[in-house]
Amino acid sequence: MKILVTGANGYLGQGIVKQLLDYGNDVVAVDYTIEKIDKRADRISCDLFSIDNPYVYFNTPDVLLHLAWRDGFIHYSDAHINDLSKHYEFLKKFSESDISMISAMGSMHEIGFYEGSIKEDTPCNPITPYGISKNALRELTSMLCKNNNKKFQWLRGYYIVGNSQYGSSIFSKITAAEFEGKSEFPFTMGQNQFDFIDYKDFCEQVALAVEQDEVLGIINICSGHPEKLADRVERFISENGYKIKLNYGAFPDRPYDSKAVWGDASKIERIKRRIK
């Protein structure tokens, strides 16, 4: 299978491309810069949104995995709204091509404030530009695929745990602070519970989802259970042998974060059982 991955040089893209290649797929990996992308992929540096016929330009892939997105960790960035029409036009061109399936990366922030297990049919009431834009693109892409008879996947991502110092998650920030020799890290009280998934598991789940086309629609990329933020961060510090300590209460909790939220993992578990 030939899979086109956009945003391939990003934090998620690097690991997902590697996993897809390890599973034996042909990967066309695309981004503005390509220096961090696995060299086994067909790497292409370009501006996605300036290409008239991306399906032909990227050598007629079987599947599009659209990861590209600016300012994913800056939830109130204007880029989310400003770029939405560009993503729509890009995906529209693919929906009108001969591609078999369009998969795109979503976010649990599409849901908005919610407590409990997020299922495929959980109503979405996003409250940040990031969540609003992701949710709008989900609905638009679903419409495009339906109108053009394409298979559609929306991979709804949850909270990723990884020790790269170059990401924007709290785990990346703690890693960067540790490497800088800082003794304390400013923190909330950490009592909210979220669905945390290790970076490697996240990449594996995405790769497993997109290399099959029987389980479709919204697929939660998640662990399937909640854990207190403080517990997961303390465990992360211990797992990596860091010396840094958390300064509890330095920041308030974000008002739009749920007290306890996690993904329903039934679909991704069904995909895993199929593969086995």
- Is 88 a known active-site residue? no
* Cα 216 to the center of its chain, rounded Å: 17
Count of helix runs (H) and strand runs (E) in the chain: 8, 15
**What is the C-alpha to C-alpha distance for residues 9 and 13, in angstroms, rounded to an integer?**
6
In the set 32, 57, 114, 130, the catalytic residue is 130
Extract the tokens encoding 237. 């510090």
Residue in this structure with the two tokens 């960035």, named with its chain if needed:
77
**What is the C-alpha to C-alpha distance for residues 70 and 77, in angstroms, rounded to an integer?**
9
Report the candidate in 187, 200, 267 with the shortest Cα–Cα distance to residue 232: 187
Consecutive H or E run containing 239: helix 229-239
- Contacts of 168 by beta carbon, 8 Å cutoff, 6+ apart: 11, 72, 73, 74
DSSP string across 50-117 = G-S-HHHHTT--SEEEE---S-TT-TT-THHHHHHHHHHHHHHHHHTTT-SEEEEEEEGGGS-S--EE
- Contacts of 239 by beta carbon, 8 Å cutoff, 6+ apart: none
C-alpha torsion sign, points 178, 75, 84, 100:
positive
Residues identified as active-site? 130
